Amino acid sequence: MKPHYHVITLFPEMFTALSGFGVSGRALRNGLCDLKLWDPREFTQDAYRTVDDRPFGGGPGMLMLAEPLDLALTAAKTALRAAGVDQSRMVYLSPQGRRLDHALVLELATEPGLILLAGRYEGIDERVFQRHPLEEVSIGDYVLSGGELPAMVLLDSVIRHLPGALGDADSAKEDSFADGLLDCPHYTRPEDYQGLKVPPVLLSGNHAAIRRWRLKQALGRTWQRRPDLLQDRRLSPEEQDLLDE
Ligand code: SAM
């Protein structure tokens, strides 16, 4: 069954950036997954379709009201159940959450459904967490003005891992983090650009030598740029050899 992704957002139009372009756009058009957007304004009762209010206790900014979010989350849950997904992970995009990384992306890519909540203003009324089992996920230690970009970052990274999403299924396997290393450098035509030459091994046609060169480059880059990735990774004898060379 294809995964169903639901996003609660005050700015559904922003998601054309995900649905209209590139790998994610093609995956959605080809029916590899579904995206449904829910605007909390549709779940308000007043003439102004109010979705925010001032925080109790004072302080700057506004907060998203509990009720429209509660109702929108419940509607998304009901829609997922109707599509045959009884249990789905619910994620509030938040700078206070677990940091999104490759392991979490792979985990989420196996889910039959996801409900994402994009916050705005100073965030959401805390009682929404008591009404729904929301996990918090952050895309990094900085604060954005809304959860839409983080939700799109999460969905884009997840969709790449759906079977059939990438033209060449192997390309995700060779991307950074897939095998615990950063990706190696790449070159395309021309062979000589302004006197800058492509490493000769890549033109040699010797596949074993090319694979070994790429692995050595990936190891070297990882060691230089992200030594933390090597700390928890058991090196194969070949990798150890290449690092020692
Ligand atoms: N007052 C909140 C705090 O300090 O934790 C920040 C609110 S932020 C201005 C508005 C919304 O943007 C948040 O509710 C959240 O949905 C989203 N957001 C901001 N930074 C984020 C990040 N690093 N990762 C995920 N979501 C983020």
The set of residues, in sequence order, having a beta carbon less than 8 Å from that of 164 and lying 6+ positions away, is 27, 30, 32
Four-way CATH pick for 4-159: 3.40.50.620, 3.40.1280.10, 3.90.1150.10, 1.10.3720.10: 3.40.1280.10
Domain residue ranges in the chain? 4-159, 176-244
Ligand 1, atom 21: closest residue by C-alpha:
95
Residue 61 Cβ < 6 Å to ligand 1: no
Ordered DSSP codes for 27-95: HHHTTSSEEEEE-GGGG--STT---EEPPTT--SS-EE-HHHHHHHHHHHHHHHHHTT--S-EEEEEEE
Q: Which atom of ligand 1 is nearest to the CA of 64?
A: 14
Check if 175 is active-site: yes
pLDDT attached to residue 35: 98
The set of residues, in sequence order, having a beta carbon less than 8 Å from that of 75 and lying 6+ positions away, is 38, 43
Domains 4-159 and 176-244 share a fold: no
Cα separation, 156 vs 4, whole angstroms: 14
Query: How close is the Cα of 40 to the center of ligand 1, in Å?
Result: 17
pLDDT attached to residue 31: 98
Check if 185 is active-site: no
pLDDT tens, residue by residue, 48-73: 999 999 999 999 999 999 999 999 99
Reported in sequence order, the residue ranges of 87-237 that DSSP labels E, i.e. its strands, are 89-99, 113-118, 134-138, 192-193, 196-197
Q: Which residue in this structure is represented by tokens 């649905």?
A: 19
DSSP conformational letter for 127: T
Write the Ramachandran bin of 212: left for phi over 0, alpha for psi from -120 to 50, otherwise beta: alpha
Check if 237 is active-site: no
190 prior amide bond cis, ω within 30: yes
Q: Which class does domain 176-244 fall in?
A: mainly alpha
Write the Ramachandran bin of 117: left for phi over 0, alpha for psi from -120 to 50, otherwise beta: beta
The length of the chain in residues reads 245
pLDDT attached to residue 167: 85
Cα separation, 66 vs 123, whole angstroms: 11
pLDDT attached to residue 173: 87
Residue in 7, 144, 154 to alter for ligand 1 test, most ligand atoms within 8 A of Cβ: 144
From first to last of its 245 residues, the chain has per-residue pLDDT tens of 999 999 999 999 999 999 999 999 999 999 999 999 999 999 999 999 999 999 999 999 999 999 999 999 999 999 999 999 999 999 999 999 999 999 999 999 999 999 999 999 999 999 999 999 999 999 999 999 999 999 999 999 999 999 999 988 778 889 999 999 999 999 999 999 999 999 999 999 999 999 999 999 999 999 999 999 999 899 999 999 998 98
pLDDT attached to residue 142: 98
